[in-house]
Amino acid sequence: MQVSMKLEMKDAPGQLVAALTPISEVGGNIIAVIHQHDPKHLSGTIDVQIMLELPEKNLEKLIGLIRSKGVTILRIGEERLLIRHSIILIGHLIHTDLTDTVDRIDETGFAEVAELHMVMPAITEPSSAKITIKSASEADMDRALDILRDVAGQKQLLMIETMEDHA
């Protein structure tokens, strides 16, 4: 599983290493460390955000080990789905079973619909919906968008995708 943790530790040499060492001890992999020197707390501590992957059963053990180093865990959360991408669907969304459209993404296990904002005009008019999908990686997002393209094709919906910012 992927886990994100926000740690609070003393701004002193060796502290970060001390906090990170237990991760490999429990068979985990560090994906990212976001080290914010500023702003410092009045207490002289700093916050560090880490993203890691580890066997789910070892999470409790890791928490204990980190705490034993004198590091405070401010927040911990399972952050499986980090990539977000919005698209707009236009068409007869309700009549073509919107629940099924959402399920087709949710049932993949690697992506899910995080947000859905729909505008419905008159009953005969096509509705428009903005759908935000979350996934664990760019590759998973591509797979999810492929599925959605297929679904849109089958249900004769217009799918408008986001253009990456080239500017």
How many CB atoms are closer than 10 A to CB 89? Answer: 24
| Stretch (H or E) spanning 9 | strand 2-10
Cβ 167 to another protein, closest distance in Å? 5
User: How deeply is 22 buried, as exposed, middle or buried, from its count of CB atoms within 10 A (0-12, 13-18, 19+)?
Assistant: buried
> Is the CB of 97 or the CB of 126 nearer to another protein?
126
Cβ 3 to another protein, closest distance in Å? 28
* Residues making contact with another protein (CB under 8 A): 86-88, 90-91, 117, 119, 121, 125-130, 158, 160-163, 165-167
> Is the CB of 99 or the CB of 156 nearer to another protein?
156
> Is the CB of 74 or the CB of 119 nearer to another protein?
119
